[in-house]
Amino acid sequence: MSQTYILRVWMPDRPGALGALASRIGAVGGDVTGIDILERGAGRAIDELVIELADSALVESLIAEIHQVDGVDIESIRPAAEALHDPRVDALETAALLVGASTPSTALDELCIHGVRTVGAHWGVILELSSGSITSEVGECPPAAWIAAFVAGSQSSARVSDGDTGPSDMVWAPLPAAGRVLVMGRNGESFRARERRQAAALARIVDTRFRELVNLSRQRHPSVTD
């Protein structure tokens, strides 16, 4: 029975590089069924490939073949944990779901759940900035105090830097209208530019929806305050 793997590689951003890599994958009977460019810059690209192998015993042979390609480095290779989807379609479906949230709290909960799934994080939280408490949680996350310290440090660094701040295996996105922040993490595997943009875009969608729902509630119940 064939096995599906997710291969993440660094490779030269030049014509023919992908073809050379695909040739080596084919040499062990591997079939490339999907590819996604996660990041490009400084003459290199970070690509994520979906590969089907006839047998899991071929993984070591696959790695050995890839190492023969000039300029290509393997960042990670892992079995596909679940049925794979087109990441762009998946992101659109997630956005549609978040826009349809019926209450402010539901919007935040759904962001945490689907944000983790969409960007492939291992855990995620919604952190309330005023109290430093976690209001939504998915997976095994660090303590709230540690996450709050990470966010505070990242916000301070962001004021003096245009680049990403903090550990590469964590990503955060602000929710200013909600007074919260979305934080997600992996166990040692870096988030790339496309994934960070996805997290920020989903957070903006939910923050806009949160504001709309709060305003609607105020119009219906003018005597109720936050």
CA distance 53 to 31: 7
Q: What is the mean pLDDT of residues 166-193?
A: 91
Q: Verify that 110 and 201 share a domain, yes or no.
A: yes
Q: What is the mean pLDDT of residues 105-125?
A: 92
Residue at 172 is within a domain: yes
Mean pLDDT of the chain, nearest integer: 87
Which of 42, 57, 79 is where one domain is finished? 79
Residue 58 confidence (pLDDT): 93
Residue at 74 is within a domain: yes
Which of 28, 44, 79 is where one domain is finished? 79
Residue 160 confidence (pLDDT): 40
Predicted confidence (pLDDT) at residue 215 exceeds the cutoff of 70: yes
Q: What is the mean pLDDT of residues 22-48?
A: 91
CA distance 111 to 124: 9
Closest to 19 measured CA to CA, from 5, 35, 3, 43: 35
Q: Verify that 116 and 179 share a domain, yes or no.
A: yes
Predicted confidence (pLDDT) at residue 161 exceeds the cutoff of 50: no
Q: Verify that 137 and 215 share a domain, yes or no.
A: yes
Q: Verify that 106 and 216 share a domain, yes or no.
A: yes
Closest to 34 measured CA to CA, from 76, 84, 97, 74: 84
Which has the higher per-residue pLDDT, 85 or 220? 220
Work out how many domains the chain is built from and give that number: 2
Q: Verify that 74 and 162 share a domain, yes or no.
A: no
Which of 33, 59, 79 is where one domain is finished? 79
Closest to 117 measured CA to CA, from 187, 195, 204: 195
Which has the higher per-residue pLDDT, 223 or 20? 20
CATH number of the domain at 130, please: 3.30.450.270
Predicted confidence (pLDDT) at residue 159 exceeds the cutoff of 60: no
The secondary structure of the chain in percent helix, strand, coil, rounded to multiples of 5, reads 40, 25, 30
CA distance 169 to 188: 6
Residue 13 confidence (pLDDT): 92
Residue 207 confidence (pLDDT): 94
Q: What is the pTM of this model?
A: 0.73
Segment among 46-50, 189-193, 220-224 with least mean pLDDT: 220-224
Residue at 226 is within a domain: no
Domain boundaries, position 12: 3-79
Residue 165 confidence (pLDDT): 54
Predicted confidence (pLDDT) at residue 123 exceeds the cutoff of 50: yes
Instruction: Report residue 35 as tokens.
Output: 């590819």
